[in-house]
Amino acid sequence: MLRAVVGRRVRRAVQPCDLVDYLNGRLDGDFASESVEVTNVWTRLRTATRRIRPKMAVGWALDADQQPQLQLNASALQVKDAEAALTHAIRGYFRQRLLNKPDQGKVYAVTSASTPPNHFMRSGNFTRFAEWRFVHRARLDCVPLNGSRRWGNGVKACRRCGYENETLPHVLNHCKPHFATITRRHNAVLGRLVKALKPSSGTTVRVNQTVPGFNDGLRPDLFILNEAEKTAAIIDVATPFENRYAAFEAARNGKKVKYDHIASHLRQQGYDVVVDAFLVGALGGWDPANERLISQLRLRRRYCHLMRRLMCTDAIRWSRDIYVEHVTGQAIRRRPSQP
């Protein structure tokens, strides 16, 4: 009984507030005496509360019947949902701690914002051990590269192109010798998107072709035109590195600016034009803004559930290939269509 346990600790008549003080782990005043209690459910509850209190606003308070009641963020918890609420809060605490890290939080700021990038965490679906081993180290920026040395005066330059800092974003997105594989990663995502399209009759879909009437050499990944409905969509797929969400926004805005002149030309002809980007991060990050495009393009709902996960896995798979290619100097031979 809690009251008896508290009584043996304070060695006087127990008041209701003593119960709360005991559970909250108070150590001064009457609680300063050494405990003579053998371990039981109440001593464990006191210890658990004390341990968890620095991490989140959890504690005990008296309810209307003068009974101790568990509170989280100053609101009472019911018995049936206390476990779920505490689990959620502790996850939130550790997630925030990771995001606050300047180096390691930048990828997780994107990948933890939605479920598709993490679909394989519990099940391992569509993911080989090689990719599993790569992606966790890569997301934590612990992949061995010249630029990731934290100390010493060793050479930091890129071993393939000579760029001054061989970091993971450089290798996966900017290193010239890997542009062929980077393009294949892009095409893998684009291929999934094209597969999900269900063009209605009278709709023209052009993949990676110039827009008719323009000789500027620009080839949007997807150009969808419906003469009857007077609608047009210009969409580019990109796989930016997850350098916080701002990198995704910058990539999206860049695409809008790139095709602005084509869009205004079509608008002058009376078309309703959508210019947008479809973004999947190099380490499998999923841009929540893709959802807007999915509904605008009226993609098949059932397939999209699978498509999101496959796209994230594709990006991780190709990024690992790029990394292996970088370190070994040997291109990995794989058919482009192989998932």
By CB under 5 A, tell whether 303 contacts Zn ion. no
Torsion angle of the four alpha carbons 134, 116, 222, 250, in this order, in degrees rounded to the nearest 10:
-80
Beta carbon nearer to Zn ion, 24 or 146: 146
Distance of CA 233 to the CA centre of its chain: 27
Integer Cα distance of 296 and 177 in angstroms: 36
Return the range that interacts with Zn ion (CB under 5 A); candidates 150-158, 226-234, 272-280, 307-315.
Answer: 150-158
Which tokens hold the place of 160? 């393939």
DSSP states along 253-310: HHHHHHTHHHHHHHHHTT-EEEEEEEEB-TTS-B-TTHHHHHHHTT--HHHHHHHHHH
Beta carbon nearer to Zn ion, 179 or 214: 179
Beta carbon nearer to Zn ion, 14 or 171: 171
* Least distance to Zn ion, CB of residue 169, Å: 11
Beta carbon nearer to Zn ion, 160 or 265: 160
Beta carbon nearer to Zn ion, 160 or 206: 160
3-state helix, strand, coil in the chain (%, to 5): 50, 10, 40
Pick from 281, 332, 326: which is nearest to 128 by CA?
332
> Pick from 160, 244, 258, 265: which binds Zn ion (CB under 5 A)?
160
By CB under 5 A, tell whether 175 contacts Zn ion. yes
Residue list 179-208, contact with Zn ion (CB under 5 A): none
* Least distance to Zn ion, CB of residue 160, Å: 5
Beta carbon nearer to Zn ion, 42 or 241: 241
Q: How far apart are the first and last CA of the chain?
A: 60
Which amino acid belongs to residue 312?
C
Return the range that interacts with Zn ion (CB under 5 A); candidates 43-51, 142-150, 172-180, 273-281.
Answer: 172-180
* Least distance to Zn ion, CB of residue 134, Å: 18
Integer Cα distance of 225 and 272 in angstroms: 10
Torsion-angle region of 197 (φ positive above 0: left; ψ -120 to 50: alpha; else: beta):
beta
By CB under 5 A, tell whether 163 contacts Zn ion. yes
By CB under 5 A, tell whether 161 contacts Zn ion. yes
By CB under 5 A, tell whether 158 contacts Zn ion. yes
* Least distance to Zn ion, CB of residue 138, Å: 16
Return the range that interacts with Zn ion (CB under 5 A); candidates 5-13, 16-24, 38-46, 160-168.
Answer: 160-168
By CB under 5 A, tell whether 327 contacts Zn ion. no
Which amino acid belongs to residue 221?
D
Which tokens hold the place of 298? 């009226």
Size of the site for Zn ion (CB under 5 A): 5
Which tokens hold the place of 302? 């059932």
Q: Which helix (H) or strand (E) holds 302?
A: helix 301-328
* Least distance to Zn ion, CB of residue 328, Å: 15
Binding footprint of Zn ion on the chain (CB under 5 A)? 158, 160-161, 163, 175
